[in-house]
Amino acid sequence: MSITASVLILSTDEKIVDEAKLAFDGLGENTPRFRLVKQSGHLFEALRTQPISLVLIEFTADPQELTAVVGQIRSASPGTRVAAILRPEGFPESVNESAVLIDAMRCGVCDFLRRPLSTADLSRLIQQASSDDDRDSHIQSRPLGRVVSFISNKGGVGKSTLSTNAAVAIARRGKQSVLLIDGSIQMGVAAALLDLRPSATLTDLARESDRLDPTMIRQTAAVHSSGLHLLAAPADAVEAMEIDDLLMARVITLARQTYDVVIVDTFPMFDQVVIAALDLSDRVYVVLENVVPTLLGGVKLLSVLERIGYPASRQSIILNREQRVTGSLTVDDVAEQMQRDIDHVLPFEKKVMAAANCGVPIAMATLRFSGFSRALEQLANDVAGHLDPKASRIALNEQPLNAPDPIADGSSLALSPGDLER
């Protein structure tokens, strides 16, 4: 197929024209038409008068200038892809390169090129921009998916179990495509919770980062019987070293172009990878238990979120494994300690542990009389972006139903296939 894409290059450096011509000539018959513009005003004039499939913008000394222009391009021509060209001399020492690149991806930059421009890089971008494949056209025209992250200040509070079950609950409905990214790269457990043995992980994406696009994301993801797609964590801590914040940001940015909901389970430690996930998340879910040491750590976690500029308006607090027993803190006690409302309360449920041991998410079970299942459905609604306000905080306002409890007699926690049938 002959490629006839039109490309604009926004740069004040005349030398880049020679680089682009040499690189584009390597495409042979697929060479696109391209031209250089030196002012953003000329760029927008061209966007108004002709179809442009790809814009290449060189970073200036002030990285914020690029993000401003990209935002205007997305408004003026939503179908135009934008890639950024890194300056040969790089960024000043006072500028955090990773933070700049993540910010650029957040505002819509699809990829980055280094000078001198190469035929391989430009070929990949042109193919992505000009493909008339129906699936790719659908991906480009669809609205960006919703991204949420689950975080905690310590391990063992059920964060991975909740994120996995919320993802399964949404996927089972069949109305939204869902991707779970196991961003707990040091010791991810999502694959085990789903009883999956993925043939590829995030490490494989890191090793193929030059070819990374939405299609590769879908091809790499393992598929669960619920319809959920999973990008599994690296196999071990050594492989995890290949995952950095820039890769995580690229994966999330591309994933939201092809999935309706992207859920990120994070490692319980603040590092650049976790911050990259939070920066691209529409909402973050902070998972706690009603245990004083955990709550004290939770208060510090909220303080850290505030310091890195993640607003309370985009946070939700989850109280997991809540029990009403003598000596335990009440929901009101937790809210007072956190100085925040508790958005979701998941009551303690022994079958959750049994389901995790079986590799069959509790969200696959039909436990109609379970307070946990009803609370999980509300959490899934919230994560999916359509929580019913009237039904929220259900565990706060309702007592458990007086229905028979199949495990109240102290029987074994092991679940039979009948217990977990769809």
Q: Are 255 and 145 in contact (CB under 8 A)?
A: yes
Q: Which two tokens stand for residue 237?
A: 């801590």
Q: Checking DSSP bridges between strand 222-223 and strand 229-231, what pairing results, if any?
A: antiparallel
pTM over 0.85: no
- Closest by CA to 255, choosing from 367, 147, 398, 410, is 147
Q: In the numeric block, which tokens belong to residue 162?
A: 């909740």
Report which of residues 271 and 226 the model is more confident about.
Answer: 226
Phi and psi of 247, rounded to 5°? -65, -45
Read off the tokens for 165: 């079950």
DSSP character for 201?
B
Q: What per-residue confidence (pLDDT) applies to 392?
A: 41
Give the model's pLDDT for residue 211. 81
Give the pLDDT confidence of 376-390 residue by residue, as tens digits: 999 999 999 976 544
What digits encode the pLDDT tens for the residues 153-193? 898 999 999 999 999 999 999 999 999 999 999 889 999 99
Structure tokens at 123: 């070929």
124-128 long-range contacts, CB within 8 A, separation 24+: 124/210, 124/211, 124/213, 125/54, 125/81, 125/83, 126/3, 126/5, 126/7, 126/27, 126/30, 126/32, 126/53, 126/54, 127/3, 128/81, 128/213
Tens digits of residue pLDDT in 96-130 = 888 888 888 888 888 888 888 888 888 888 777 66
Domain annotation for the chain: domains and CATH numbers? 6-132 (3.40.50.2300), 146-397 (3.40.50.300)
- Confidence band for 142, pLDDT divided at 50, 70 and 90: low
What is the rounded average pLDDT for all residues in the chain?
Answer: 83
